[in-house]
């Protein structure tokens, strides 16, 4: 009999809504999903823009092929002067002074004389990069912030690289990018 009374009490109580969703939670989940999608879209478009930017080698090649009506040298005139060889980017530590550790990022093009052989240039590329990094490591930021310091660096790079070559020589060094951080 006691069981029948308990069963009747359970039958008379209203049933609670166990499957109902909290509307605030639903809105927050929806907003979170939209936000994640927007972030993914902007990341994707940013990546596509970076992938479509030309590299330093592409820019140098385009400049050498022809500059149009702007009065710059055409590709043939550059070839009569010398052989331009773009270098990969350099990032090197500078000599540490009293302040914080500083470094330099350098993008450069070396112009070799016409009697230089491209095979020798390519085979000496590790030595060229090593000597440039060694020269940059010996410089203080104050040395490179002035125009005279940058010109002196060009001369140092030319003389260091010319010591390696049997045929030909470096005529000039062009900075495409030069940043001290």
C-beta separation of 129 from 87 below 8 A:
yes
Domains belonging to the chain, first-starting first, are 82-180 (3.30.479.30)
Full-prediction pTM beyond 0.75? no
Q: Which two tokens stand for residue 36?
A: 């994640």
pLDDT tens string for the chain (181 positions)?
555 555 555 555 555 555 567 889 999 999 999 999 999 999 999 888 888 887 777 777 777 776 544 444 444 444 568 889 999 998 999 887 777 888 899 999 999 998 888 888 889 999 999 999 999 999 888 888 888 989 999 999 999 999 988 888 999 999 999 998 8
Question: Which pLDDT value is given to residue 10?
Answer: 55
Distance (Å, rounded) from C-alpha 36 to C-alpha 42?
Answer: 10
Q: Which two tokens stand for residue 77?
A: 């005139």
Whose tokens are 């999903």? That residue is 33
Question: Which pLDDT value is given to residue 78?
Answer: 43
Q: Residue 177: beta bridge partners?
A: 107
The DSSP 8-state label assigned to residue 69 in this structure reads T
Q: Would you give the distance in Å from CA 39 to the centre of its chain? A: 22
Distance (Å, rounded) from C-alpha 149 to C-alpha 161?
Answer: 18
C-beta separation of 112 from 171 below 8 A:
yes
The DSSP 8-state label assigned to residue 53 in this structure reads S
Question: Which pLDDT value is given to residue 108?
Answer: 94
């Amino acid at each position: 009999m006691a069981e029948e009374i308990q069963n009747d009490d359970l039958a008379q109580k209203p049933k609670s809504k166990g499957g109902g969703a909290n509307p605030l939670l639903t809105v927050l989940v929806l907003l979170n999903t939209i936000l994640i999608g927007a972030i993914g879209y902007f990341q994707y478009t940013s990546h596509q823009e970076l992938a479509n930017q030309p590299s330093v080698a592409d820019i140098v090649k385009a400049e050498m092929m022809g500059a149009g009506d702007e009065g710059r040298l055409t590709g043939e005139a550059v070839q009569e002067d010398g052989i331009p060889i773009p270098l990969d980017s350099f990032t090197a530590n500078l000599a540490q002074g009293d302040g914080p550790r500083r470094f330099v990022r350098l993008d450069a093009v070396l112009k070799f004389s016409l009697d230089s052989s491209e095979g020798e240039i390519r085979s000496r590329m590790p030595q060229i990069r090593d000597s440039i990094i060694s020269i940059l490591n010996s410089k203080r930021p104050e040395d490179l912030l002035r125009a005279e310091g940058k010109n002196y660096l060009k001369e140092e790079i030319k003389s260091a690289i010319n010591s390696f070559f049997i045929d030909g020589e470096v005529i000039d060094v062009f900075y495409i990018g030069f940043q001290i951080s």
